[in-house]
């Protein structure tokens, strides 16, 4: 990827650090994706990325790459260096020991264990610190980590595949395949970078899907997967309609099954069953409770791949952060299944409001990406 910033500017080097961070796009959770480059005399002398929880952080890799040349150099880091000892030693201390002269930080760490302490440690050691360089680009690397640290919940991306007339299936329920193979491969990217995939019992009964990243489609040209980290599958089955013979319960990969009442079936050891907390009014699973629970389990990004009812409930309750719609050049007719089941809104301003952030062709299909505006944000914008 070309670097659009002036040569040797802080933005130029930070853009390079952001590219380093993207190497961990599919592998770092529950940790954030972080990149670091070290520069001396306008020359790159070290680069590194955090690739997996429990392994060295980006700063450590970059310092090892730079060696003794790191003394007096400038380190560019996409996220504030950590100041606490977790599974690895603090990176702020490593930068101090390396005797770098300056550290440029894109954004403050939202983790309350860090949150300014790393920057203070550097400054106390006499290291010059510059903050706020390409902050928005750095934040875009870690929406799930930021949201979990600030709100306790994962970032929710809802995926829909629909026809030109907004249908997700024929009237008889047939839905495979509305979109083409390129769009289906594109979905693998989102699954691969997600900590979990959430669906409902209706989708599992209808399609018997695995909801795993498909290895044959996981060779992404930009950041090839050195290992295929499979997402946790989360399935809501309050009425216990699903049986242990279904594909996702027999592939050895973990499933979190949310049920109501005494368990009717025995599942394999890969399936963890948790009792649902029901919403008092609807007597359906409390989606806010579920997101809180997934946040407690350290999940940063949640991929919602469900039917019209569950997807509509998430959207109506303002629990979707990002909506990704793949639209195929097909027309399924007025008796087809609509893409979302939503309440009968009486006023336009009651309906969910979306802001498009990306639009692109995926072969013959179109992928549209929207940020879902909260009611307060929508009112302010209006």
- What would the two tokens of residue 252 be? 């050895």
- What would the two tokens of residue 187 be? 């979905």
- 308 is annotated as contributing to ligand binding: yes
CA distance 327 to 379: 28
- 229 is annotated as contributing to ligand binding: no
- 169 is annotated as contributing to ligand binding: no
> Quick check: 75 and 59 in contact, CB under 8 A?
yes
- 35 is annotated as contributing to ligand binding: no
CA distance 290 to 200: 13
- 243 is annotated as contributing to ligand binding: no
- 313 is annotated as contributing to ligand binding: yes
- 177 is annotated as contributing to ligand binding: yes
59 is a catalytic site residue: yes
- 309 is annotated as contributing to ligand binding: yes
- 24 is annotated as contributing to ligand binding: no
H and E: helices and strands count for the chain: 11, 16
CA distance 137 to 148: 18
- 233 is annotated as contributing to ligand binding: no
Closest CA to 100 of 49, 42, 39, 50: 39
Closest CA to 80 of 29, 17, 155: 17
- 191 is annotated as contributing to ligand binding: yes
- 161 is annotated as contributing to ligand binding: yes
Residue 193 to residues 32, 189, 376, Cα–Cα distance (Å): 12, 6, 29
- What would the two tokens of residue 53 be? 């929880």
Q: Which residue among 11, 59, 69, 364 is the active-site one?
A: 59
- 305 is annotated as contributing to ligand binding: yes
CA distance 66 to 288: 46
Which residue is listed with tokens 């809501």? Answer: 236
- 82 is annotated as contributing to ligand binding: yes
276 dihedral zone (left: phi>0; alpha: psi -120 to 50; beta):
beta
Question: Which residues line the annotated binding site for Zn(2+)?
Answer: 57, 82, 91
Residue list, annotated binding site for NADP(+): 161, 177, 207, 238, 307-313
The annotation places the binding site for substrate at 175, 191, 203, 211, 214, 305
The set of catalytic residues is 59
Binding site: residue ranges?
Answer: 57, 82, 91, 161, 175, 177, 191, 203, 207, 211, 214, 238, 305, 307-313
């Amino acid at each position: 990827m070309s670097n659009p910033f002036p040569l040797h500017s802080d933005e130029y080097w930070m853009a390079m650090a952001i590219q380093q961070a993207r190497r961990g796009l599919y592998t770092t959770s529950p940790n954030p994706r972080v990149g670091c480059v070290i520069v001396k005399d306008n020359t790159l002398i070290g680069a590194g990325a955090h690739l997996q929880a429990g392994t060295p952080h980006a700063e450590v890799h970059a310092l090892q790459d730079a060696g003794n040349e790191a003394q007096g150099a400038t380190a560019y880091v996409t996220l504030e260096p950590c100041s606490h000892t977790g599974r690895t030693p603090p990176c702020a201390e490593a930068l101090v020991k390396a005797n770098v002269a300056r550290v440029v930080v894109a954004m403050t760490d939202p983790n309350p264990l860090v949150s300014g302490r790393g920057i203070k440690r550097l400054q106390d050691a006499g290291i010059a610190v510059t903050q706020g360089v390409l902050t928005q680009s750095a934040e875009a690397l870690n929406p799930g980590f930021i949201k979990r640290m600030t709100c306790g919940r994962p970032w929710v991306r809802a995926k829909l595949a629909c026809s030109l007339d907004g249908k997700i299936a024929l009237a008889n329920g047939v839905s495979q395949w509305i979109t083409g193979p390129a769009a289906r491969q594109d979905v693998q990217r989102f699954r691969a970078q997600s900590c979990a995939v959430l669906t409902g019992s209706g989708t599992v009964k209808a399609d018997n899907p695995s909801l795993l990243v498909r290895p044959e489609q996981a060779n992404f040209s930009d950041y090839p997967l050195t290992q295929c980290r499979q997402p946790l599958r989360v399935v809501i089955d309050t009425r216990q309609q699903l049986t242990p013979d279904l594909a996702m319960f027999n592939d050895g990969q973990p499933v979190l099954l949310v049920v109501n009442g005494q368990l009717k079936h025995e599942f394999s050891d890969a399936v963890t069953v948790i009792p649902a907390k029901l919403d008092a009014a609807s007597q359906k699973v409390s989606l806010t409770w579920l997101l809180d629970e997934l946040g407690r389990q350290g999940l940063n990004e949640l991929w919602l791949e469900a039917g019209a009812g569950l997807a509509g409930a998430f959207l109506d309750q303002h629990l979707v952060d990002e909506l990704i719609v793949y639209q195929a050049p097909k027309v399924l007719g007025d008796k087809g299944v609509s893409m979302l089941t939503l309440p009968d809104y009486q006023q336009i301003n009651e309906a969910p409001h979306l802001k498009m952030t990306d639009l692109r062709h995926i072969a013959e299909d179109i992928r549209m990406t929207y940020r879902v505006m909260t009611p307060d944000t929508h009112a302010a914008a209006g």
